[in-house]
């Protein structure tokens, strides 16, 4: 736990100084603690959603050059509010290849097959 949380917990339990913490303030501190925990948990889901979105969009990108894929990654990272480097790192961790090579491999695997309408 962080020092601030320990101090807040100690003040709310009974080691209060001459300025006691009211019941309402203790409730607000607890709500803030739960909110922070929920936000930390959601950050993991946001990264997973961004990687899934990038995978889907790479399958349908018309050009597989660096500029178009870089623009796509920047757009997705802005949409999900994550760092483009983190998006790239998470994508490489999931697929063991860069987004450029993934798009090229996917296009080559689909050659000669009918296009879905």
Q: Could you tell me if 17 and 27 are in contact, meaning their C-beta atoms sit under 8 angstroms apart?
A: no
Question: Considering the domain boundaries, does residue 73 fall inside one?
Answer: yes
The reported pLDDT for the residue numbered 1 is 56
Total structural domains in the chain?
1
The stretches in the chain having pLDDT less than 50 are none
The reported pLDDT for the residue numbered 18 is 64
C-alpha–C-alpha distance, residues 101 and 103, integer Å: 5
Question: Considering the domain boundaries, does residue 116 fall inside one?
Answer: no
The reported pLDDT for the residue numbered 26 is 75
At residue 48, what are phi and psi to the nearest 5 degrees? -65, -40
The reported pLDDT for the residue numbered 22 is 74
In which domain, by residue range, is 73 found?
3-109
Question: Considering the domain boundaries, does residue 114 fall inside one?
Answer: no
pLDDT in tens, 13-46: 555 556 667 777 777 777 888 888 877 777 667 7
Helix, strand, coil distribution of the chain in percent, nearest 5 = 75, 0, 25
The reported pLDDT for the residue numbered 87 is 92
Residue 106 token pair: 């996917």
Question: Considering the domain boundaries, does residue 104 fall inside one?
Answer: yes
Question: Considering the domain boundaries, does residue 72 fall inside one?
Answer: yes
The reported pLDDT for the residue numbered 89 is 93
Question: Considering the domain boundaries, does residue 41 fall inside one?
Answer: yes
């Amino acid at each position: 736990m962080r020092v601030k949380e320990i101090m807040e917990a100690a003040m709310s339990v009974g080691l209060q100084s001459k300025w006691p913490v009211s019941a309402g303030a203790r409730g607000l501190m607890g709500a803030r603690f739960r909110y922070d925990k929920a936000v930390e948990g959601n950050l993991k889901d946001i990264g997973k959603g961004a990687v899934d979105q990038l995978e889907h969009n790479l399958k349908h990108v018309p050009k597989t050059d660096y500029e178009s894929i870089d623009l796509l990654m920047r757009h997705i990272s802005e949409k999900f509010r994550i760092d483009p480097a983190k998006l790239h790192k998470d994508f490489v961790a999931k697929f063991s290849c860069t987004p450029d090579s993934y798009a090229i491999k996917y296009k080559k695997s689909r050659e000669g097959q009918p296009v879905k309408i």
